[in-house]
Amino acid sequence: MPKTDDKPAWMMHGITAAPVEDYLYSLLPSRDEVLTAMEAEAAKRNIPIVGPAVARILHQLAVMTNAKTVFELGSAIGYSTIWWARAVGEGGRVIYTDGDRKNADEARAYFERAEVADRITIKVGDALEFLSEEKREFDIIFCDIDKEDYPRALRTALPHLRKGGLFVADNALWSGKVTDPNPTEDSTKAIVEFNRLLYNSPQMFTTILPIRDGVAIAVKA
């Protein structure tokens, strides 16, 4: 594994001990040329993506629950979107959302290269607004938007998640800053509130996996 300073952003700021994290990455199979290109581009331009370790969890969750519909809150260049799209299979549907048209155009090109474009609906604008307008319930809702919006994302998502469906969120441990008893950053305060809401909700059964930056997984009762 490369030295820490040489690692791409999606391999840094994790809460797992560095040697353990390096070991986990050493186990990962090689990705195809599309995902590899996306990882390289994300590293070059410091684009936030979940990275392959977390992406494998997302894929696994979708397969385990036989998910066919996924709504992504925040999709950037579409790295996690491709993992979801491959997991839901033919006939499945993934909703991509991002506020940046350039990100969406770039993602569209990657979707075509990965041959999953027919499973993905692209929406450019406010992700929470798009979700609030949905009339259906989803099998999985994945949250990776601005951290200050996480509490609102949970409140918006619950009515649109089917019973037994999964609400999944990246960055739930926020580089360990959630342990600060008196956080000053709005983002940290929001993540702390979000985690409390998840664990205290009578509608959700929640676990946070301490991998990378923390992945919250909650099933709707």
Q: What would the pLDDT profile of 49-61 be if each residue is shown by its tens digit? A: 999 999 999 999 9
Q: Report the pLDDT value the prediction gives residue 160, as an integer from 0 to 100.
A: 99
Give pTM, 2 decimals. Answer: 0.93
With 80 as the cut, is the pLDDT of residue 16 above it? no
Asked if residues 89 and 65 have their Cβ atoms less than 8 Å apart, the reply is no
Chain centroid, CA 36 distance in Å: 18
- Three-state SS for the chain is CCCHHHCCHHHCCCCCCHHHHHHHHHHCCCCCHHHHHHHHHHHHHCCCCCHHHHHHHHHHHHHHCCCCEEEEECCCCCHHHHHHHHHHCCCCEEEEEECCHHHHHHHHHHHHHHCCHHHEEEEECCHHHHHHHCCCCEEEEEECCCHHHHHHHHHHHHHHEEEEEEEEEECCCHHHHHHCCCCCCHHHHHHHHHHHHHHHCCCEEEEEECCCCCEEEEEEC
Q: Report the pLDDT value the prediction gives residue 3, as an integer from 0 to 100.
A: 41
Give the orientation angle of helix 18-27 with respect to helix 51-64, to 10 degrees: 60
Q: Report the pLDDT value the prediction gives residue 11, as an integer from 0 to 100.
A: 65
Task: List the domain boundaries for the chain.
Answer: 4-220
Q: Report the pLDDT value the prediction gives residue 1, as an integer from 0 to 100.
A: 35
Q: Report the pLDDT value the prediction gives residue 7, as an integer from 0 to 100.
A: 72
Query: pLDDT tens digits for 58-77?
Result: 999 999 999 999 999 999 99
What mean pLDDT, rounded, does the chain reach? 95
Longest dimension (CA), the chain: 48
Q: Report the pLDDT value the prediction gives residue 63, as an integer from 0 to 100.
A: 98
User: Does the domain made of 4-220 have the CATH classification 3.40.50.2300?
Assistant: no
Query: pLDDT tens digits for 181-221?
Result: 999 999 999 999 999 999 999 999 999 999 999 999 999 99
Cα separations (Å) of 80 from 71, 83, 135, 201?
11, 5, 24, 27
